[in-house]
Chain A
């Protein structure tokens, strides 16, 4: 094999081999995605003639919060109503914990899973696994590139837009700060972008993305920055205190995760700055609702976690009977957000408390 011709042939052959391996790898990575959706649909169709008497389905959150307790109440209620077994899991340890829970549920032979993926882009492996062995739908945060049969939730961009418009109504201009747990999640990015676009009165465009590091000055507002805390509440509180020091002229702030808004209320109260710095809230923290009633919180945008839980179980149960008719053509079952203001705060709070109570009392498995 010493002459140049044979060496050249060998090189070409090797390159071809490598190319073949690459092509196989790429197609292997792409093709199963569509296949997995079709395979799930085929399995559902097959169940039409042999429906599961008592399907066992699971609802997996992206963390631990009162928000998810309400979702759990919805899931359990649907299970009771429809006569199917429901398992609810709250991963407390982030991405790794959620992966483990999904794998364990698949190993148990669960019939279907509704999950709120923490990092949809990088979780394709485990989401594909669920689709392969069970039935996959997503809730709260979507994974459009995963083989999911349906997404249940609101459009986080739309909800952010509502929050931004709420802020715009209550505050005519000035410096604005954004606080959010983390920005890795798709729902967090979209919610933040929606808020910015709503506040600045831009034409809605969910594909737009303003870099978090740079201040934005537009339409009489200056968004001075976005601060994250990786779910460390002491850090989240410190962020708000520090930003109030760095920007003494701050006119408005928003906390885009539940505890961000609650802590903002806490800091405003402790510093006696209620009313001096306005707050546009997100989610339904008790002190945020109280702040709305007291008048120094403009309002808050609330999702319907009960609906996420309920619809997840309803859909998965129908799948197990061979019925896919409830899935809209877009693949997105929209459960819109609501704005809570002073006039509807009290009624909302009563309904919420009843649902949390139901979620806490319901067994998870």
Chain B
């Protein structure tokens, strides 16, 4: 919880700065946009955090976003599939990708970095090949399916309605939080991340857990990709989702996940994803040069994680001193 306070502090600080010095930050429309983008990237970040908890990493998130996202208009428009078939098929395909990663990592004992790096290349390549490198879009149709991302639910506030993407985000976040904190399997997953060998010798089915984590990550990425393309309307296979894995991983780490594994906070990850999106918007509303975007994000991330580490050490030292006779 204390860890969440740190990221909450950064988020609030960015919001305060943006609302004082930026234009129209605290308008309903802006907050609605920010909710939408945070939800989209939040779904990817939740997936990344499940893998990071196990001490692994998934570099293929952006490419899975691309393959899953591009597949939707490709199947709907080019191949005239029914939306009722497309959505489950794309999600199942994404889960299979995760299963493939998980099996390579647990059965063949390949490094997660390597497996998912190859995935990064593989899925983008497939997406580009199957579409002939052509941009894929809904061509003004399928508004009822796109409503999964574009629908807005009024909550009685002026100019602010809750974007539909919040629903899958909240459901997934709640399910993940309950899984990690309230189920034996969740506890086992955390234990696996802390020390896999110890967990395995205690009888925990670590292989199944790790495989499951990769399935969840790719499934979340596939869902995210689908919602992204519903939101944007069209995408180019060569660049759609590029670097999104880095936003997802950054959000997860900013939200308190340790890359060494065994630590996670669902609320923290959501705050981390929101912070990154608020930062990107703040740069425009503050009138800063958009070329500075990556520099500002990098600097804020670095300050955030450094402050977090310093506070942690201070606390440990105090605890040691208190424990000393």
Q: Which A residues are within 8 Å of any B CB, using their own CB?
A: 63-66, 69, 90, 92-93, 213, 225, 227-228, 231-235, 237-239, 241-248, 259, 262-263, 266, 270-271, 286-287, 290, 360
User: In whole angstroms, what is the CA distance A238 to B243 when docked?
Assistant: 16
Contacts of B30 in A (CB 8 A): 242, 245
Asked if A238 meets B33 with Cβ closer than 8 Å, knowing A92-B128, A233-B232, A262-B234, the reply is yes
Q: How far, in Å, is B28 (CB) from chain A's closest CB? A: 10
The answer, among A65, A227, A245, for a CB contact under 8 Å with B23, is: A245
The answer, among A90, A242, A266, for a CB contact under 8 Å with B284, is: A242
User: In whole angstroms, what is the CA distance A225 to B287 when docked?
Assistant: 9
Which residue on A lies nearest to B40, using beta carbons? A234
User: In whole angstroms, what is the CA distance A65 to B235 when docked?
Assistant: 10
B290 is an interface residue with CB less than 8 A from chain A? yes
Which residue on B lies nearest to A66, using beta carbons? B135
The interface on chain B, measured as residues whose beta carbon lies within 8 A of the other chain's beta carbons, has a size of: 40
Contacts of B284 in A (CB 8 A): 227, 239, 242-243, 246
Residues A93 and B238 in contact, CB atoms below 8 Å apart: yes
Which residue on B lies nearest to A181, using beta carbons? B239
Residues A228 and B232 in contact, CB atoms below 8 Å apart: no
The answer, among A69, A246, A262, for a CB contact under 8 Å with B287, is: A246
Residues B135 and A65 in contact, CB atoms below 8 Å apart: yes
Pairs across A and B, CB under 8 Å, 6 listed: A63-B238, A92-B239, A225-B287, A233-B236, A246-B24, A286-B139
Contacts of A247 in B (CB 8 A): 23
Residues B234 and A271 in contact, CB atoms below 8 Å apart: no
Would you give the 0/1 interface string for B201-240, flagging 1 where the beta carbon is closer than 8 Å to chain A?
0000000000000000000000000001001111111111
User: In whole angstroms, what is the CA distance A235 to B139 when docked?
Assistant: 20
Contacts of B285 in A (CB 8 A): 242, 245-246
B37 is an interface residue with CB less than 8 A from chain A? yes
Which residue on B lies nearest to A270, using beta carbons? B150
User: In whole angstroms, what is the CA distance A234 to B139 when docked?
Assistant: 17
Residues A232 and B233 in contact, CB atoms below 8 Å apart: no
B133 is an interface residue with CB less than 8 A from chain A? yes
Asked if A234 meets B228 with Cβ closer than 8 Å, knowing A92-B133, A360-B132, the reply is yes
User: In whole angstroms, what is the CA distance A26 to B135 when docked?
Assistant: 44
Q: How far, in Å, is A98 (CB) from chain B's closest CB? A: 12
Asked if A92 meets B240 with Cβ closer than 8 Å, knowing A228-B290, A239-B284, A286-B140, the reply is no
Which residue on A lies nearest to B24, using beta carbons? A245
Residues B133 and A245 in contact, CB atoms below 8 Å apart: no
B289 is an interface residue with CB less than 8 A from chain A? yes
Q: Which B residues are within 8 Å of any A CB, using their own CB?
A: 22-25, 27, 29-30, 33, 37, 40, 128, 132-135, 137, 139-140, 150, 228, 231-240, 242-243, 280-281, 284-285, 287, 289-291
Asked if A90 meets B133 with Cβ closer than 8 Å, knowing A233-B236, A243-B284, the reply is yes
User: In whole angstroms, what is the CA distance A227 to B287 when docked?
Assistant: 11
The answer, among B24, B133, B137, B289, for a CB contact under 8 Å with A248, is: B24
User: In whole angstroms, what is the CA distance A235 to B276 when docked?
Assistant: 13
Contacts of B235 in A (CB 8 A): 233
Contacts of B280 in A (CB 8 A): 235, 238
Residues B232 and A245 in contact, CB atoms below 8 Å apart: no
User: In whole angstroms, what is the CA distance A232 to B140 when docked?
Assistant: 21
Residues A242 and B135 in contact, CB atoms below 8 Å apart: no
Asked if A245 meets B290 with Cβ closer than 8 Å, knowing A238-B37, A287-B140, the reply is no
Which residue on A lies nearest to B232, using beta carbons? A233
Which residue on A lies nearest to B281, using beta carbons? A242
User: In whole angstroms, what is the CA distance A258 to B187 when docked?
Assistant: 50
Which residue on A lies nearest to B133, using beta carbons? A64
Q: How far, in Å, is B76 (CB) from chain A's closest CB? A: 15
Residues A271 and B29 in contact, CB atoms below 8 Å apart: yes
Contacts of B137 in A (CB 8 A): 286
User: In whole angstroms, what is the CA distance A243 to B284 when docked?
Assistant: 7
User: In whole angstroms, what is the CA distance A69 to B234 when docked?
Assistant: 16
Contacts of B23 in A (CB 8 A): 245-247
Which residue on A lies nearest to B285, using beta carbons? A246
Asked if A231 meets B24 with Cβ closer than 8 Å, knowing A239-B284, A245-B29, the reply is no
Residues B29 and A69 in contact, CB atoms below 8 Å apart: no
Residues A227 and B139 in contact, CB atoms below 8 Å apart: no
User: In whole angstroms, what is the CA distance A290 to B140 when docked?
Assistant: 9
Q: How far, in Å, is A27 (CB) from chain B's closest CB? A: 36
Residues A234 and B232 in contact, CB atoms below 8 Å apart: yes
| Most B C-beta atoms less than 10 A away, residue of A213, A234, A244, A360 | A234
Residues B281 and A238 in contact, CB atoms below 8 Å apart: yes
Given contacts A92-B238, A242-B30, A242-B33, 7 further A-B contacts (CB under 8 A): A64-B133, A66-B135, A239-B284, A239-B290, A248-B24, A259-B234, A360-B132
User: In whole angstroms, what is the CA distance A66 to B234 when docked?
Assistant: 12
Contacts of A239 in B (CB 8 A): 284, 290
User: In whole angstroms, what is the CA distance A231 to B132 when docked?
Assistant: 18
